[in-house]
Amino acid sequence: DSLDVLGILLKCANFAAVKHSGQRRKDPEKTPYINHPIGVAYILTDEGSVRDPAVIMAAILHDTVEDTDTTLDEIKKEFGSNVANIVAEVTDDKSLPYDERKRLQIVHAPTSSKEAKLVKLADKLYNLRDLEKATPEGWSQERVKQYFIWASKVVEGLRGTNRQIENSLDEIFSRHVL
Ligand code: NDP
Ligand code: ZN
């Protein structure tokens, strides 16, 4: 019932907070990293009207395997294989070179599951809003521009998934990608 959902969502939030503790975002204020996965999940419920608990859970957990010592087995054990499979789909293989990782996001986007597409869309929207607010330290304007262009290519492969979130992304792209 709904109490089980609340409990499991807070288990996710607590798990992600512990795993990301000490990590910071790249904005000049060095915002605590956990603001990002929580914000991505909130975009899905508040703006995307997403109600599938597995998608919200995967959103909260979406950067734990990529950016902390968390393993997919651990996610599976704590939160089940459904959530673990979504997290796996949105996790880059950090053993690959940067350019290859970024290329594979574009290639894999169209064939990913609807659940993974939702998480990816909200993740891109959150990160592009961050970049509109402030440029990360050490980033040239050219690097910011290239990030918007790359993100628009990933989003091309995610379309037809959530009109609200895609509309918000399109508004951003209309400002930044010619
Ligand atoms: P990027 O360096 O491209 O950084 C963008 C990612 O950082 C986002 O996708 C987001 O990922 C995260 N992020 C954290 N804070 C912010 C923020 N305030 N605004 C937007 N995004 C934010 O990706 P990687 O971290 O994958 O790659 C890092 C490596 O790439 C480094 O080794 C870097 O040196 C190298 N690099 C350097 C370039 C240069 O011009 N000097 C160009 C390209 C790569 P998430 O959702 O996962 O948090
Ligand atoms: Zn992310």
How many helices and strands (H and E) does the chain possess? 10, 0
Each residue's pLDDT tens digit, 14-52: 999 999 999 999 999 999 999 999 999 999 999 999 999
Catalytic residue check, 67:
yes
Residue 4 Cα to ligand 2 midpoint, Å, equals 26
CA angle 100, 149, 113 (to 5 degrees): 65
Residue 178 reports pLDDT greater than 70: no
**Which ligand 1 atom is nearest residue 123's CA?**
46
pLDDT at position 177: 73
The interface predicted TM-score of the complex, written ipTM, equals 0.93
Residue 3 reports pLDDT greater than 90: no
Each residue's pLDDT tens digit, 74-132: 999 999 999 999 999 999 999 999 999 999 999 999 999 999 999 999 999 999 999 99
DSSP string, 55-87: HHHHHHHTTHHHHSS--HHHHHHHH-HHHHHHH
Q: What is the DSSP letter of 43?
A: I
Residue 161 Cα to ligand 1 midpoint, Å, equals 25
Which ligand is the nearest neighbour of the Cα of 146?
1
Cα 64 from chain centroid? 11
Distance in angstroms between the alpha carbons of the first and the last residue of the chain: 47
pLDDT at position 176: 92
